[in-house]
Amino acid sequence: MEQNIPRLVYFLVPAQEFNKTTFFFVILAMVLFFYFILFFAKSSVILRTLKKATLRRVFNVKNNEYVKLTGNAKHIYEPLVAPFSGKPCVYYAIEISSRIGKKSYKILDQEKFQDFFLDDDGHIAIIKPTSSSNKSHAIQNFRTSSNKELSQRIKAFMSEVFPDHDMDSKDSESMLYFRENIIATNDMVAVMGIAQWIEIKTPLDDGKDSKKLEITGNKDQSLLITNDPKVAVGFKTL
């Protein structure tokens, strides 16, 4: 009977004490553990909050409301360039992990964002993320590993960040994995934040003075941003 006990459970519970009741509670504990990890993950919290919120239009938002908006992301300044794919974007998150044998280690976790316009069918909101108030979730754009032919862009990035690492090495005992998530310019996005109407000049208005909506966040009401199509849906497609 011992040889039929699942390996993970065998390590958790001595074989001589193993019975069906113990097996049930061990499996239940494992399921609950992974459920709570997924439930409280940043991406899950963002999507869950945005799904529950009522979608508003830029032109009928009031001052100091905590509101949900959708529209296309438009860059205000020179757009960011995603390190691995080279795509223009307003937000990116990259991760490099190393796998040595059967163990995996995260060696780089980097996130970068900038202010951007949200274009709600011609009505403009200015989205202003900050490191202390912003929670972003971007869909995965790029993934590869060092056992494949890497682009010159990735090699140049690695040479700059890890100058001592030999990117031409094909060491089968050490593998690098690259992942990139971005919010590209023109992506449909959903945001939720604190609304403030301000007077400003914008390139989309040919430099004329106008009243624009600014969306920010704080420690109590985070600025949520995502391009996940589960919630980043405009009024025209509802």
Q: Are residues 20 and 81 in the same domain?
A: no
Q: Are residues 59 and 90 in the same domain?
A: yes
Q: What is the Cα–Cα distance from 123 to 213, expressed in whole angstroms? A: 9
Q: Are residues 8 and 119 in the same domain?
A: no
Virtual CA dihedral for 50, 53, 58, 62, nearest 10 degrees? -130
The secondary structure of the chain in percent helix, strand, coil, rounded to multiples of 5, reads: 25, 40, 35
Q: Are residues 18 and 135 in the same domain?
A: no
Tokens of residue 109, six digits: 């976790």
Task: Look at residue 47 in the predicted model and tell me its pLDDT.
Answer: 85
Task: Look at residue 202 in the predicted model and tell me its pLDDT.
Answer: 57
Q: Are residues 143 and 34 in the same domain?
A: no
Q: What is the Cα–Cα distance from 98 to 105, expressed in whole angstroms? A: 5
CA distances from 36 to 44, 46, 125, 133, 230 (A): 11, 15, 35, 23, 21
Q: Are residues 198 and 106 in the same domain?
A: yes
- Number of neighbouring beta carbons within 10 Å of residue 94: 21
How would you write the pLDDT of the chain (238 residues) with one tens digit per residue? 444 444 444 444 455 555 677 766 667 667 665 555 554 566 777 888 999 999 999 999 999 999 999 999 999 999 999 999 999 999 999 999 988 777 888 889 999 999 999 999 999 999 999 987 778 888 888 888 877 878 889 989 988 888 877 666 555 557 889 999 999 999 999 999 999 998 866 555 555 557 889 999 998 999 999 999 988 886 554 4
Task: Look at residue 1 in the predicted model and tell me its pLDDT.
Answer: 44
| Domain boundaries, position 137 | 41-237
Q: Are residues 87 and 18 in the same domain?
A: no
Task: Look at residue 223 in the predicted model and tell me its pLDDT.
Answer: 94
Task: Look at residue 10 in the predicted model and tell me its pLDDT.
Answer: 45
Q: Are residues 160 and 219 in the same domain?
A: yes
Tokens of residue 115, six digits: 């202010």
- DSSP letter at 86 equals -
Task: Look at residue 2 in the predicted model and tell me its pLDDT.
Answer: 46
Task: Look at residue 175 in the predicted model and tell me its pLDDT.
Answer: 82
**Contact (Cβ atoms closer than 8 angstroms) between residue 116 and residue 90:** yes
For residue 99, which of 174, 206, 35, 164 has the smallest C-alpha distance? Answer: 174
The number of folded domains in the chain is 2
Q: Are residues 190 and 229 in the same domain?
A: yes
